[in-house]
Amino acid sequence: MPDKIELLGIGLTVFSPIFATLSYILLSNIPLTALGIGLTVLGLTILLTPQHPVPKETVQTFIRSSCENLETLLEATGAFMKATYFPSNGKVYAYIPVTREQNIVMEDVVKNVGNLISKSGRSLGLIIVPPASELLKNSVGEGAGYDAVASEILVEASEVVESVKVVESDSTIVLEIFRPRVDINFSRFRTVMGSLPTSIAAQAAAIKYSKPVQVLDESFEGNRIISRLKVLEWTGTPYT
């Protein structure tokens, strides 16, 4: 039976996305929407952090439920371009463009951390804390290579996949992810954030290299996900 912490995670994961979506669609209230998104991420982090043995199917059910509501929120805001993950003060955030014209550079995006909306000229986007961001605080050891970091966060800390292999070439990272245990099948979420394992891997890369990171593409081959990440410069604009 889930303990109090797990029940809290379940409650936040189920109800916070609904709260955020209604706040945005019905009330057009940005602060309440931001609160709902933050509570959703907190709930997901609690569920993804192993504390006591919890049936895998139960965790997956609540994660999928939360992602379904996040999918609704992304659709409500019209987001369709790729998110860019970036670090700030030891945490990872995701910048999600909501307008086609993106002339804002990432070093200006990071200045807007703490606000849900980032705006510069005609560039408009959301800044959110993505799922599993909190897990990265204790998973990136000093001196550890990215392959070790990716394995720690994906396999050990979150138990999202069975194993992962990493190949790095200049600013491109290729991941071969084996047997995902937790993933979502919502097209908008995947288009913007990437699959859940790839999203978490991109967050880990952003923390490891202290630079913005974007998911270039993914392919799904049976029980494998092949993902390509791009490490960006702070003076660059978000890829679309």
CATH number for the domain spanning 166: value is 3.30.980
Give residue-wise pLDDT tens across range 77-126: 888 899 999 999 888 999 998 887 778 889 989 988 887 778 777 788 88
Residue 55 lies in a domain: yes
Whether 173 contacts 205, CB under 8 Å: yes
pLDDT higher than 70, residue 176: yes
Residue 159 lies in a domain: yes
Q: How confident is the model at residue 76 (pLDDT cuts 50, 70, 90)?
A: confident
- Average of pLDDT values for 26-36? 61
Q: Do 149 and 72 share a domain, yes or no? A: no
Residue 186 confidence (pLDDT): 84
- Phi-psi category of residue 132: left, alpha or beta, with phi > 0 → left and psi -120 to 50 → alpha: left
pLDDT higher than 80, residue 150: yes
Q: Do 169 and 199 share a domain, yes or no? A: yes
> For the chain, how many structural domains are there in total?
3
Burial 168-179 (b: 16+ CB within 10 A, else e): eeeeebebebee
Q: Do 152 and 203 share a domain, yes or no? A: yes
Residue 23 lies in a domain: yes
pLDDT higher than 60, residue 13: no
Q: How confident is the model at residue 228 (pLDDT cuts 50, 70, 90)?
A: very high
Q: Do 140 and 187 share a domain, yes or no? A: yes
Range of the domain at 28: 4-76
Q: Do 124 and 142 share a domain, yes or no? A: no
Q: Do 203 and 143 share a domain, yes or no? A: yes
Residue 38 lies in a domain: yes
- Alpha-carbon dihedral sign for residues 140, 91, 93, 2: positive
- Average of pLDDT values for 203-215? 94
Residue type, 39: L
- Which of 15-19, 73-77, 155-159, 187-191 is predicted least confidently? 15-19
Residue 239 lies in a domain: no
In 89-202, the DSSP E strands lie at 91-97, 117-120, 123-128, 161-169, 172-180
d(CA 21, CA 24): 5
